[in-house]
Each structure stands twice: as structure tokens, then as C-alpha cells.
Structure 1
Amino acid sequence: MLMNRLAHSAHQLRCIRASPILRLRGSRYLSTLPENPHIYVHQHPMDPAKKVLSLLASEPPTLQLAIGTADSLPVTPRNFTTNPHFLPILSSVFAEHAIHDSYVKSQASVYASAGGTFLSGPNDGAGGANHQGGAGGAGHGGWIHISDLRNPPDYGRIAWPEDIFGSVEVDGNGNFSGGDGGWQDSGTYRVVTREGILGLTEFMWGKTVERLQELERQIKQNS
């Protein structure tokens, strides 16, 4: 069970960094990544040589809920280690809330028009640079691939697998199939790439922080 794994796991991670911006919170200075002010940079409580990256400002950081750790800043794929608990949590948030994001709903609306773009299935492995979405007429549904904002694909193209969080299905009228879109995790997403670190819409960022805060309260109550 996820909560048991979170509550009883003290996993060492590696965090990310990049000329942090200092912000005063009460009597503490908290730093955030310049390229993403939603990501806090904490000192690792067990390894002073590492930084803990988290969407939560809590001090000390709850390692089980962090994005990951970095050996140095700025964060790169080589100096960053993802927290193995984070992506399953993120995927569960997308499964529940992605279809309510205006960014995703605007893509779904394309299917309600005669010029709707048909996107391939959730397990398509083509990269954004070499996969062109085929054009479909009205009445043709398909899959919307929800990708990281750090490297948005050109219109009609599919993002690189490492940038895709997952997919939801829509029908030809632009409605999410089954009412919830049948969320499918991509299994290929990477938190840090050469294009940058995790980039969420304001809506999904807010929902993810809410989930992490809820889990953090449960962890503290059980400790």
C-alpha cells in the first residue's frame, strides 16, 4: 500500500539545483529554482553535500514526498536522482484531475470540430521531432498526450516520450471517454531532461501540492 511504503521508507535521494532565489518564510530563508519557482531547494538532512528538491516548503523536507535529490546546481540529468515514490503520486493526481485542467480541455475541444487532430494510442513511442499527428474529421476520437510544459511540441505533433506524463481518451464530440478519460500513465516520463525540470500547469501544480500536503500530514500523524 502506498501510504505504508511512504510512512516506513527513509530513502536517500539526490536533488537538483540552479542558482537558487532566496525567499523569506518566517525566520527561515527558503530557496527555489530560478527556472521553476514552484520547486523548493532544501538542504539534505542526512547528507550536507546534496540538495532535496520538493514542491513543499516544509522544513525539514519530507524525503518520501520530495521530487528527488541533486548533487549540485543547476540540475541536470547527470546530477539528479528521482525519488521513486514521487512519480506514482504524480500519476495518481493526473488520473484524478487531468481532465479538469483547462489546458487539457482545450485540446479535447479540437475533437468537436471538423478539423480535429487525431492522436495515436497511449503507448506510441514516436518522438515529437519525427511523429506527425494525422488529421481526422468530426466523429473521430483519439488520445490526448499530456506533456511537460518544459518542451511543448508543435501543433499536431506528439511530445517526446520522456516529456509525456500520460494520456486520456476523448470521443469525436470532445468528451472524455468513460467520463474520466481512462488515464494511462506513459511509463516513459523523466523528471529532468536536457530541456529542464518538471513543468506543470498552475492547475496541476496546485492539485499536486494539495495531495503532497495531505500525504505529509498522514506521515507525520503516523510517525
Structure 2
Amino acid sequence: MFSTRSIGRQAFSLSKRSQARWVSSLEGNPYIYVFSNKDATNGSHILSLLPSEPVNPELAIGVSTKLPPTTDSFTENPKFLGTLQEVVSKHAHEDPDAKSQAQVMASTAGANLSSGGVLLTGQRGRRRRAETGDSSGGASGQGGAGSGARGGWIHISDSRRPPEFGRIAWPEDIFGSLEVEGNGQFAGGDGNYQSSGTYRIVTRDGILGLSPFLREKLVQRLRELEKK
């Protein structure tokens, strides 16, 4: 026979699991939670990186009248965008992905580095840029990266549309850039992060996609703000 205390614990555990199941996430992106926007009459949804309910609209990613969100249906939250940039500015140089890009840049003389950490020889880079002439050309054409022992810049970009071999991300996918010294270390210790000013939370390729490291840091910051 189960004791009353044991049954109570089981019921409480079941209740917590049931509540957790009711918090739905965006299809294809389990880290973004979807809530009905009860204050709106257009059937819109609030998107957030926090599963907390009721949702704090100041911490939400934004609002969308469609799921998945599109460029026409989504309205971003400027305050969230500010928090996002705050976190990337503070922690991007600590991201293992960024550190890897910086080391590859420094160790490969005479090569160009894309935002995804892919190397491309200068010869091929010139050929690709001459053929396309678009805004997503080779990194050196953008002033994005230097050659070995000279340093330069690497781009911190969204993962929703990884750039092709030898290319940098589209401006709307770039959070900002970090300066790298010739020895592969970040200039000033933190890379002197510069925001791109062109990043968009939702594009035709999808919604916000952060590296696991930066996503964790952003969620931590949002939780701090949630407690205030």
C-alpha cells in the first residue's frame, strides 16, 4: 500500500510533467517556445527563449501571426535584440566556434577565412568574387579576414543559413565581428566586438539560430532579467 506522502509526491511529479508538456516549442527549433498572445485579437503568438508563463513581453523574441514565423508575419522585440547584442558582445570571444576560426586564420598564411571557418585560397576567392559580384563574396573582399600572421576580422553569424565554401554570411545573418591578431588571439583580449547593425531575427531562411554556447549565455541573461 502506498503512503499518502508517497502518493502526494507522485501526483506533484505528474503535475509538473503535465505542465511542461503544455509548453510548446517552434517546429524545427525546440529552444524557442510558443505562447498564445492573449492580449491580441489577430491570433498571434509570442515567441520566447524562456518557457516561463505568463510571458514577459519585454524578454520575448517577438510576435508572429503565423507559425513558423515569416518576414511578413513577424514583429521583433527591439529590447530582445538589444539584449542579444549585449550577450554576443560580451561572450562571442569565449565561444569555442569563434576561437577555432581565429586560430585557423592565424595558422593559414595567404588564405581567406569565411564566417563558417572554411578556408579558401586567394586564387579561387578572386575567381568567385569576379563571377558573382554579390554581397556574400569572399571574406577578404569584404575586409573580413586577413592572412596568416597579419590578423584581421572574423564574423559571428547566425546558423540558420551556413555560408557556402569560401563565403561569408549575408549581412542580415551577421551579428557582428571580432578582431583577431596575427597570433590567433583576439585583439584586446575580447576581440573589440563590433555590431553589424544589419542582423535580422527572421529572414526567408528562418528564425534566430545561435551556437549552443551563445544560446546558453543568452538564456542565462534573460533569466537574470526575468528575476528583476
Residue 102 of structure 2: aligned partner: 108
Residue 203 of structure 2: aligned partner: 193
Residue 64 of structure 2: aligned partner: 70
Residue 23 of structure 2: aligned partner: 30
Following superposition, the deviation at residue 133 of structure 1 comes to 2.4
Q: Deviations over 1:56-101 (max 9, x none)?
A: 0000110000000001212110000000111110001011111111
1:56 equivalent in alignment to 2:50: yes
The 4+ residue runs of structure 1 with deviation greater than 6 A are: none
CA RMSD of aligned residues (A): 1.9
Length-normalised TM-score, structure 2: 0.77
- Give the number of the structure whose alpha-carbon radius of gyration is greater: 2
1:133 equivalent in alignment to 2:139: yes
Residue 223 of structure 2: aligned partner: 213
Length-normalised TM-score, structure 1: 0.79
Following superposition, the deviation at residue 211 of structure 1 comes to 0.2
Structure 2 gap ranges (5+): 1-15, 116-133
Q: Secondary structure at the match of 1:105?
A: helix
Structure 1 Cα separation of the partners of residues 99 and 175 of structure 2: 16
Following superposition, the deviation at residue 108 of structure 1 comes to 0.5
Aligned pair count? 188
Q: Among 181, 187, 201, which residue is 1:177 paired with?
A: 187
Q: Deviations over 1:185-218 (max 9, x none)?
A: 1110000000000001111110000000000101
Say if 1:46 and 1:137 are closer, same or farther in 2 by CA, change over 3 A: closer
Higher helix share: 2
- Sequence identity, in percent? 52
Structure 2 Cα separation of the partners of residues 27 and 154 of structure 1: 42
Conservation of the 8 A alpha-carbon contact between 2:95 and 2:214? yes
Conservation of the 8 A alpha-carbon contact between 2:112 and 2:138? no
Q: Secondary structure at the match of 1:181?
A: coil
1:117 equivalent in alignment to 2:112: yes
Q: Deviations over 1:20-66 (max 9, x none)?
A: xxxx8543501101121100001113115110000000001100000
Q: Secondary structure at the match of 1:63?
A: coil
Q: Deviations over 1:123-182 (max 9, x none)?
A: xxx632xx1123854211111111100011123311100000011100111110001100
Residue type of the alignment partner of 1:198:
L
Structure 2 Cα separation of the partners of residues 217 and 26 of structure 1: 24
Residue 17 of structure 1: aligned partner: none
Structure 2 Cα separation of the partners of residues 103 and 46 of structure 1: 40
Q: Secondary structure at the match of 1:41?
A: strand
